[in-house]
Structure 1
């Protein structure tokens, strides 16, 4: 795909949603960090249902650490992999308290050193909480980028690096949200909703579903 077509796609996505936001509920960098940590292999809806009950009780590293693993599990047991996520969450809180004065570090290396936090989670926190022009690539963004031919790659890391290279600076802060929402609601996995897609005329997917 050429750069002019990519720009048109980004302009259309921006026009439709000028100020995109994550669908996870959060009110502080720490709440966002925990929500994203819990969202691995789970839906944002399921995470929000859990954190809407959890955060009013414990929404700081100290409060969540004091809650403990067993009590935390009761709040997040409806989320997939809740046992390991509870362990990682409490370990993360301990590190934040001991090494970062109870604050979420605005630093990729420090974030990725936290249990259960990989590059994608770090990218989301840096982008959404701190305004960094990072691009977190999940399964939705990987699919949309490859299917449309916007930024092709064999791995999520390949796609991330390609997106960082081809997306103009003015779009980098929001492109992660545009692509994830597009993949979640329009360019879905099994049968993409091409007939209602605002970028269908620019997309280079060969097997479009127009009917």
Structure 2
């Protein structure tokens, strides 16, 4: 895919949704961090249901520690892998208090040193809480980047690096959200909704006509 086509894709996505953001509910960097940890192998909707009650009871590292692991588990038991997530969250809260004065750091190395926080989670926090132009490649972005031809790669990191290099700079801050939402609601895994796709005419998916009853017009 050439640069002019990528430019046109992100112009189109921006026009359709000028201010994209995460569907996770949060009010500060700590709430976002916990929500992202909980979102692994879980839906944002399921996480939001749990965190509304959790954050009403405790929304600081100190508050979670006072709640205790058993208390935390009671709030997140509807979320997949809640036992291991509870252990990681407790350990992360301890680390935040001991190493960072209870604040979420805005540095990748410090974030990735927290229990349960990998590169993808760190990228979400850096982008959404602190405004850094990072790319958190999840299954949706990996699929969209490869299927459309925006940034093909055999690994998540390869796709991330190519997106960071090839997404037009003016759109890089929000590209992560546009691609996730596109993959979640339009360019779905089993049956992409090509007939409703706003970037149909720029997409390089070889089977797109098969999934489109009628391709939308440009503009």
- Secondary structure at the counterpart of residue 205 of structure 1: coil
For residues 146-182 of structure 1, give each alpha carbon's deviation from its aligned partner in whole angstroms, at most 9, with x where no partner exists.
0001100001100000000101211110000000000
CA RMSD of aligned residues (A): 0.5
- Secondary structure at the counterpart of residue 56 of structure 2: coil
Instruction: Show the counterpart of 1:62.
Output: 62
Equivalent positions of 1:21-60 (< 5 A) are 21-60=21-60
Instruction: Show the counterpart of 1:189.
Output: 189
Counterpart check, 1:112 vs 2:84? no
Distance 2:56 2:76 in 1: 14
Equivalent positions of 1:89-108 (< 5 A) are 89-108=89-108
Distance 1:28 1:149 in 2: 35
For residues 43-84 of structure 1, give each alpha carbon's deviation from its aligned partner in whole angstroms, at most 9, with x where no partner exists.
100000000110010000000011111111111011011000
For residues 2-49 of structure 1, give each alpha carbon's deviation from its aligned partner in whole angstroms, at most 9, with x where no partner exists.
000000000000000011010000000000000001001111000000
Instruction: Show the counterpart of 1:176.
Output: 176
Number of aligned residue pairs: 211
TM-score, normalised on structure 2?
0.96
Instruction: Show the counterpart of 2:212.
Output: 210
Distance 1:199 1:27 in 2: 32
Instruction: Show the counterpart of 2:75.
Output: 75
Runs of 4+, deviation exceeding 6 Å: none
TM-score, normalised on structure 1?
0.99
TM-aligned CA deviation for residue 101 of structure 1: 0.2
